Chains A and B, each alone.
Chain A
Amino acid sequence: MSEQKPQTGTPVPFRGGGFAPKPPRIVGLVVFVVLIAIWEWGSQSGWISQLVLPAPSEAFTAFKELAASGNLWKHVSASVSRLVIGWTAGTLLGLLVGISIGLFSLARAGLMPLVSAIFPIPKIALLPLFIIWFGIGEGSKVATILFGTFFPTVIAVTGGVDNVDRGLIRMGQSFGMKWTSIVRKIILPGAMPAILSGCRISASIAIVLLVAAEMIGAEFGIGAYVLLAGSLMATDQLIAGVAMLSVLGLSVAWLIGRAEKWLLNWRT
């Protein structure tokens, strides 16, 4: 064997890599901070007119005033309790119906067309009806959120149940597991990834509907606060209210993210 290595030749060009973004966490925060800093600087220097957009610092002052007045807690608690009750009830009902559609032929034949027919209706369009049915108080708002979250949950859960590995179900049957055990220990956990991604979507829908419902008729709630600020042209309060909604959305997404980590730790 000769020890001589060929002297010429070009290295093989590298063509792999990419398509696997690994976002450094800090970047997102930096983008936020930089945008707000530019906005603040623009407002201070008069480049952005006060009339068009108030400075972030003013919005923050408005928020502090709201907190000092003691109304912050009233608005936030009213909104959060509507959200929690409406979303929980809608999700639980959606789970129940979704699992039934996933398991029983009759439920699938009877309910699936109904779900497909009602899902695309914007629930906020039904709010006047809900007010007649459930009253102008909490009932109509909760019902709007409930209906809004129910349908996407049904569709997500049905899809999740359909996608559970049939091999696992056959395994359960071959070991003589009870029907209820198969549903509880194989189908439900197997559908959990789809259920949780359904939760992500339904939670966002719930926040949108919450604000819409509060804008139509509510004394307290973040939506009512934003609406009042808007009609008084108090844009600083409006920005403060919108920021609160954004924080609410982020918190919900974070909570669902935690739930996913905890419930789906078995995923590769």
Chain B
Amino acid sequence: MDLSLRDITHVYDELEVLSGIELEIPHGQIVCIIGPSGCGKSTLLRLIGGLERPTRGSVLQIGDPPEGSLSPLTYIFQDFALLPWRTVAGNVSLVLEDQPLGAREREERIAGVLARTKLSDFHDVLPKQLSGGMKQRVAIARALAVDPAVLLMDEPLSALDSQTSELLIDDLVELWTREPFTACYVTHNLGEAVRLGHRVVVLSRRPGAIREIVEIDIPLAERTATHPKLEDLRQHLWNLMREEAQAADKELAHV
């Protein structure tokens, strides 16, 4: 299933935050969206997943979601959004309980995704006992449990320290290499974008509009933190964004 964004414009109380976004999210690819803070990246992600309605334009699903997908558009949040009163398995179970699954099938799904995210040993652990990185792994497991057609990731690594996010990038690359998934990955971190994105979409400062789309054709598994070509790309993206970021930084918050 592909997603297609047609002329998305969004206005909050007369303040235009997104302007004329046209974007394709093709099946099996990771599309990274970067931009200065306050450019409407997260808003765009909420629009794509149907948590908010765009003022103008539409988000179209092209083709049917894959067989067995329980929730085609699934989020991974920056703050993990785990229920603190449920165990690791309970948090994964939560999103399956409203689905037409038998108890055994549910258990199998939970065990399956916990194994895929290397969390099997943490089945009955409460979130308060987990580090930030493990919490985000649980959130990834929860998202994978519903077999999403598109993963919508809202700065998933921003709340983690740099070593942990490095480990999680490796995990995501491994997950994708074993079984390619479609994702829209919002971040402000250029390093993450060039490591994970098949395409990197650069948004301008508010009102967010697409400045440039950069295609990266190096296979994910071959991308390392010190890959020279990626370093050039990162520099290129930073040059695109620097002035925008400076200007965005000086802007007053609209409250």
A residues within 8 Å of B by Cβ? 165, 167-168, 170-178, 181, 185-186, 189, 192, 264-268
Contact = CB atoms under 8 A, between A and B. Distances in A.
Contact of A181 (B77, B98, B146): B98
Contacts of A186: 83
A187 to B, nearest CB: 11
A103 to B, nearest CB: 18
B74 A174 contact: yes
Contacts of A268: 84, 128
Nearest to A168: B81
Contact of A167 (B70, B77, B95, B97): B77
Contact of A174 (B51, B85, B94, B127): B51
A267 B128 contact: yes
B95 A189 contact: no
Contact of B77 (A171, A173, A267): A171
Contact of B95 (A165, A175, A264): A175
A165 B74 CA distance: 19
Interface in B69-108: 70-71, 73-75, 77, 79, 81, 83-86, 94-95, 97-98
B128 A171 contact: no
A175 B83 contact: no
Interface centre among B51, B73, B83 (most CB of A within 10 A): B83
B98 A266 contact: no
B107 to A, nearest CB: 18
Contacts of A167: 77, 79, 81
Interface of A is mostly: helix
Contact of A189 (B79, B83, B146): B83
Interface residues of B: mostly helix, strand, loop or mixed? loop
A71 B77 CA distance: 62
Contact of B84 (A171, A178, A266): A266
B126 interface: yes
Contacts of A176: 70-71, 98
B51 A189 contact: no
24 contacts: A167-B79, A167-B81, A168-B83, A170-B51, A171-B75, A174-B71, A174-B73, A175-B74, A175-B94, A175-B146, A176-B70, A176-B98, A177-B95, A177-B97, A181-B97, A185-B94, A189-B85, A192-B85, A264-B85, A266-B85, A266-B126, A266-B127, A266-B128, A268-B84
Contacts of B128: 266-268
A226 B146 CA distance: 63
Interface string B104-130: 000000000000000000000011100
A177 B91 CA distance: 13
Contact of B49 (A174, A181, A185): A174
Contacts of B51: 170, 173-174
B98 A170 contact: no
Nearest to B145: A175
Contacts of A192: 85
Nearest to A169: B81
Most central of A175, A185, A265 by chain B CB within 10 Å: A175
A169 to B, nearest CB: 9
A178 B77 contact: no
